[in-house]
């Protein structure tokens, strides 16, 4: 009886831990809250996932531009040309830094479900 109870407890623990896969989204090696030089950011092309069984299927990029929020959407893991143009335009605004927010990041699970995993903040160093 004791072995049966231990076996039941062990199987519950395995199912709980396997159900909570830890996945992180990042920009090619840059963790959230990192400061990235603008030219370095412009060379990046997509969001990556720490677990290769998952893939980014969409996100929203918000850029602070002199107190105004500009919003852009992507329906893949790719940073769109429109997003890149908005970041490039910051070079001509006489700013030292700005914040960008990747929000509503959606990932596809191995089972085919889509989950919203939150967001990321980066500081873009312009000068």
**pLDDT, mean over the chain:** 84
Residue pLDDT, tens place only, 15-35: 222 355 688 899 988 989 999
Q: Is residue 76 part of a domain?
A: yes
What residue has token string 């893991």?
A: 77
Domain enclosing residue 83, as ranges:
23-125
Residue pLDDT, tens place only, 42-59: 999 999 999 999 999 999
Q: Is residue 1 part of a domain?
A: no
What residue has token string 């709980």?
A: 16
pLDDT score, position 66: 84
Q: Is residue 99 part of a domain?
A: yes
| Number of structural domains in the chain | 1
């Amino acid at each position: 009886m004791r072995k049966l109870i231990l076996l039941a407890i062990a199987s519950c623990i395995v199912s709980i831990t396997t159900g909570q896969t830890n996945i992180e989204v990042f920009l090619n090696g840059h963790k959230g809250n990192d400061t990235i030089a603008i030219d370095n950011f412009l060379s990046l092309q997509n969001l990556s996932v720490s677990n290769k069984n998952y893939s980014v299927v969409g996100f929203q990029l918000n850029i602070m531009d002199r107190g105004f929020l500009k919003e852009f959407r992507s329906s893949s893991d790719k940073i769109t040309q429109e997003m890149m143009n908005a970041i490039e335009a910051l070079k001509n605004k006489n700013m030292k830094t700005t914040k960008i927010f990747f929000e509503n990041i959606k990932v596809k699970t191995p089972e085919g479900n889509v989950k919203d995993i939150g967001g990321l903040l980066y500081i873009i160093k312009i000068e």
